[in-house]
């Protein structure tokens, strides 16, 4: 009974926190709400007329939605890079950052699920996928694995921080015996969500561009670069706008993680390029399309070369200690690395998988305004969810929110 009382008070207090803030905060939330509404309007058009309002066709049947989904799974998985040292290796530095990291993971997962639902042709029969009432093609379909691991990871990332914050809210210390096992599982789980998502593509013999053994490991490397890079940026913003204390040491440690992951990612990129272009086969055509264009069709060229140059530049900057330890340079490097990987692992990965088609037909894909509207709406949703979670968590952590008996 007491716990319910505390919960009720927590909900009331957090509602109070998230509805009060500075002028800038209100402007931020209003802008996000506006973008979400625009996204919902675009989605209503899509629901009404069907997916024909998007740029997708029978030739390129996955587009911006699935690209963003793939990328965001990586962002969600990256929260583990903070969880592991804090809870498992008992490195105290990360303790403040880890709640933020888990908040990012929750927001990213919600975006992932929203993108998958936006991509569905029949969202009204989505219950067919629910085990028990529907038919769940497990273990044959990798998509069912993905449904399981994503929702499981979402559960872990909600419950662990919730337990810790719930204890802190009452002014108690959280018990290690409760959350450390959960943290342990989530470490393995994070690797699983990303590997399973890679297997979704890797397992298709029809698409040689995806059907290579490096796809999974490369997903992990790029995720562990882009995710923590985003977390560094978020921490930088939180540090300058709230009294929440994040030490330089913490950011420097995360920067180290980003650096190593970005270096490994670059090595894998070189390995992939070597394989595709040293002895090109029929199966290298998608890579040719992506990097050089085929038959005068080259819509992705500016994107992928931007991504590659940003990627190399960021990795070089991060590699030098002097540059990395200068925070202004670090934030810049993190930002361009994030953009680079969003391009490369988003539509730079998904779209060329369909080009050329099974019989060599080259049909390009350009997203429509409605598709972009829905995509922006979902990103705004993610930012909105994260802001709410972070504001409450910070309120509890700095002791502003406390249970009054």
Q: Per rule CB under 8 A, is residue 205 in the interface with other proteins?
A: yes
Output the smallest distance, CB 67 to other proteins, in A.
13
Q: Is 219 left (phi over 0), alpha (psi -120 to 50) or beta?
A: alpha
User: Which residue from 387, 399, 395 is spatially nearest to 17, judged by alpha carbons?
Assistant: 395
Q: Are the C-beta atoms of residues 344 and 300 closer than 8 Å to each other? A: no
Which C-beta is closer to other proteins: that of 294 or that of 312?
294
Residue 206 CA to residue 353 CA, distance in Å, equals 9
> Is the omega angle on the peptide bond into residue 156 within 30 degrees of 0, that is, cis?
no
Which C-beta is closer to other proteins: that of 88 or that of 125?
125
Q: Per rule CB under 8 A, is residue 44 in the interface with other proteins?
A: no
Q: Per rule CB under 8 A, is residue 61 in the interface with other proteins?
A: yes
Which C-beta is closer to other proteins: that of 52 or that of 325?
52
Which C-beta is closer to other proteins: that of 285 or that of 397?
285
The 349-378 contact track toward other proteins, x by CB under 8 A, reads: ----xx-xxxxxx-----------------
Q: What tokens appear for 47 in the block?
A: 């629901």
Interacting stretch for other proteins, rule CB under 8 A, among 135-143, 214-222, 229-237, 393-401? Answer: 135-143
Q: Per rule CB under 8 A, is residue 45 in the interface with other proteins?
A: no
Instruction: Please enumerate, as own/partner, the contacts of 235-239 that have beta carbons within 8 Å and a separation of 24 or more.
Output: 235/97, 235/100, 236/327, 236/331, 238/100, 238/390, 238/394
Interacting stretch for other proteins, rule CB under 8 A, among 54-62, 101-109, 170-178, 381-389? Answer: 54-62
User: Which residue from 356, 214, 347 is spatially nearest to 289, judged by alpha carbons?
Assistant: 356
Which C-beta is closer to other proteins: that of 62 or that of 189?
62
Q: Per rule CB under 8 A, is residue 181 in the interface with other proteins?
A: no
Q: Per rule CB under 8 A, is residue 330 in the interface with other proteins?
A: no
Of 38, 129, 158, 180, the residue at the interface with other proteins (CB under 8 A) is: 129
Q: Per rule CB under 8 A, is residue 213 in the interface with other proteins?
A: no
Output the smallest distance, CB 136 to other proteins, in A.
7
170 three-state secondary structure: coil
Q: Per rule CB under 8 A, is residue 135 in the interface with other proteins?
A: yes
User: Which residue from 365, 369, 384, 381 is spatially nearest to 67, judged by alpha carbons?
Assistant: 365
Phi, psi values for residue 307, rounded to 5°? -60, -45
Of 19, 44, 137, 366, the residue at the interface with other proteins (CB under 8 A) is: 137
Instruction: Please enumerate, as own/partner, the contacts of 371-374 that have beta carbons within 8 Å and a separation of 24 or more.
Output: 371/42, 371/53, 371/54, 371/55, 371/56, 371/63, 371/64, 371/65, 372/64, 373/38, 373/39, 373/41, 373/42, 374/39, 374/42, 374/43, 374/46, 374/65, 374/118
Residue 136 sits at the vertex; the CA angle it makes with 117 and 191, to the nearest 5 degrees, is 70
Interacting stretch for other proteins, rule CB under 8 A, among 12-20, 133-141, 223-231, 383-391? Answer: 133-141
* Residues between 232 and 251 with contacts to other proteins, criterion CB under 8 A: none
Output the smallest distance, CB 383 to other proteins, in A.
26
* Residues between 87 and 116 with contacts to other proteins, criterion CB under 8 A: 116
Output the smallest distance, CB 59 to other proteins, in A.
9
Of 19, 33, 44, 49, the residue at the interface with other proteins (CB under 8 A) is: 49
Q: Per rule CB under 8 A, is residue 171 in the interface with other proteins?
A: no
User: Which residue from 324, 306, 88 is spatially nearest to 228, judged by alpha carbons?
Assistant: 324
Residue 259 CA to residue 228 CA, distance in Å, equals 10
Q: Per rule CB under 8 A, is residue 190 in the interface with other proteins?
A: no
Of 134, 181, 369, 399, the residue at the interface with other proteins (CB under 8 A) is: 134
Which C-beta is closer to other proteins: that of 158 or that of 204?
204
Q: Are the C-beta atoms of residues 213 and 202 closer than 8 Å to each other? A: yes
Q: Per rule CB under 8 A, is residue 336 in the interface with other proteins?
A: no
Q: Per rule CB under 8 A, is residue 141 in the interface with other proteins?
A: yes
């Amino acid at each position: 009974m007491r716990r319910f009382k505390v919960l009720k008070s927590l909900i009331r207090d957090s509602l109070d926190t998230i509805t009060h803030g500075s002028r800038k905060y209100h402007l931020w939330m209003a802008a996000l709400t506006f973008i979400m509404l625009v996204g919902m309007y675009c989605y209503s058009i899509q629901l009404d007329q069907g997916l024909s309002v998007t740029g997708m066709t029978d030739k390129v049947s996955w587009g911006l939605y699935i690209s963003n989904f793939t990328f965001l799974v990586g962002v969600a998985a990256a929260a583990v890079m903070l969880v592991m040292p804090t809870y498992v290796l008992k490195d105290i530095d990360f303790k403040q950052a880890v709640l933020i990291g888990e908040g990012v993971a929750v927001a990213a997962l919600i975006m992932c699920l929203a993108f998958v639902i936006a991509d569905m042709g029949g969202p009204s029969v989505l219950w067919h996928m629910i085990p028990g009432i529907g038919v769940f093609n497990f273990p044959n379909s990798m998509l069912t694995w993905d449904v399981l691991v994503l929702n499981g990871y979402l559960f872990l990332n909600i419950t662990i921080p919730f337990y810790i914050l719930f204890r802190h809210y009452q002014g108690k210390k959280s018990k290690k015996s409760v959350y450390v096992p959960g943290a342990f599982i989530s470490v393995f789980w994070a690797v699983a969500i990303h590997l399973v998502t890679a297997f979704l593509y890797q397992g298709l013999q029809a698409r040689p561009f995806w059907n290579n053994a490096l796809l999974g490991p490369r997903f992990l490397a790029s995720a562990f670069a882009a995710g923590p890079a985003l977390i560094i940026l978020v921490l930088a913003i939180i540090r300058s706008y709230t009294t929440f204390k994040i030490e330089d040491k913490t950011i420097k440690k995360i920067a180290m993680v980003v650096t190593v992951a970005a270096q490994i990612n670059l090595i894998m990129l070189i390995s992939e390029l070597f394989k595709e272009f040293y002895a090109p086969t029929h199966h290298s055509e998608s890579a040719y399309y992506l990097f050089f264009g085929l038959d005068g069709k080259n819509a992705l060229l500016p994107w992928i070369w931007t991504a590659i140059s940003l990627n190399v530049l960021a990795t070089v900057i991060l590699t030098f200690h002097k540059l990395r330890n200068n925070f202004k340079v670090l934030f810049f490097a993190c930002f361009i690395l994030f953009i680079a990987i969003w391009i490369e692992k988003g539509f730079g990965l998904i779209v060329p998988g369909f080009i050329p088609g099974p019989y060599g037909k080259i049909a390009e894909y350009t997203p429509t305004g409605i598709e972009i509207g829905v995509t922006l709406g979902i990103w705004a949703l993610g930012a909105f969810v994260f802001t709410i979670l972070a504001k409450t968590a910070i309120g509890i952590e700095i002791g502003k929110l406390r249970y009054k008996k």
